[in-house]
Amino acid sequence: MTTEETVAREETRPIFPGLFPSIVRGLGGSWLGLLPFFLFALLFLFLPILYLITGAFQNSAGEFTLRNFAELTTPNIMAAYSLSIRLSLVSALLGTVTGVLLGYAVILGGLPRWIRPVFMTFSGVASNFAGIPLAFAFIATLGRIGLVTVVLRDVFGFNLYGAGFNLFSFWGVALTYLYFQMPLMLLIVAPALDGLKQEWREAAEILGASRGQYWQKVALPVLTPSILGCFLLLFANAFGTLATVYALTGSRFAVVPIVLFQQIQGNVLYNPNLGYALAVGMVVIMAVSNTIYLILRTRAERWHK
């Protein structure tokens, strides 16, 4: 090898040989795979929350103030929080009851085996179907001139709205929420229903327990933490919904997300810093519900180990 070739090889040799492979080995491939998630959570979760908290303690001039949080106790904002909490509780309760019954029928009800994958696939789609398309679907189906409304009136002689139903009321919005709450409940309660071991039922039958006693003494106590946790998850899911209720009722139905939207983007009630305080209040409520959900989920998983 000539002197020129030796010099060229020395110039192309890495300055720190084996440095990058050693870093990769130190971090581990699994940790590197989590980097996109951590980056996404930092950019779209933690930094926005920090921005909201900072703005909530400032006025329009950027000075420190507690006035924004004091205004959360005004009657209009308290009414918005009350309406959002009641709507979320009702829709979560309806979704929990119907979802558990649906899960029992699909998973434990002895139906044909092809039923479960069909329902699980549909639930995966329906649980993410919300916003303007969902509102339009319900208006076209159960609106004043919707398909079902017209069929009930012209074919069966039953006036749905004359009987007191109103899609654009509290119960109408709760019914609309049920479209994505029930399939979501089916998806998240299915592992808990699958976790009911056959040995528990057999042991109960050997000891002389009836079907009702098995569910009362064994199955329901095991499922209760999971069901309560799923209820809280549905509550948080409904509490943060904006597009569906806004597309369905406009600004007439003053839930917290709509009031927040009016404060940040509105022309009349424009007060971004108050909107930030409203958002912080929503974050606190959802953080509490999700924390309790995680605690209940951890407790439920002990039965399935």
The tokens 């001039």 sit on which residue?
61
Regarding pTM above 0.75, the answer is yes
Q: What is the mean pLDDT of residues 115-125?
A: 93
Q: Is the pLDDT of residue 233 over 60?
A: yes
Quick one: pLDDT at residue 267?
A: 61
C-alpha span between 64 and 77 (Å, rounded): 22
pLDDT tens by residue, 249-276: 877 788 999 888 888 876 666 789 999 9
Poorest-pLDDT segment among 85-89, 181-185, 213-217, 265-269: 265-269
Quick one: pLDDT at residue 1?
A: 53
**Would you place residue 303 in the very low, low, confident or very high pLDDT band (cuts 50, 70, 90)?**
low
Length of the chain: 305
Out of 1.10.3210.10, 1.10.10.10, 1.10.3720.10, 3.40.630.30, select the CATH number for domain 68-304.
1.10.3720.10
Domain ranges within the chain, ordered by starting residue: 68-304
Burial 137-157, CB ≥16 within 10 A → b, else e: ebbeebbeebeebeebeeeee
Structure-block tokens of residue 255: 């839930």
Q: What is the three-class DSSP state of 64?
A: strand
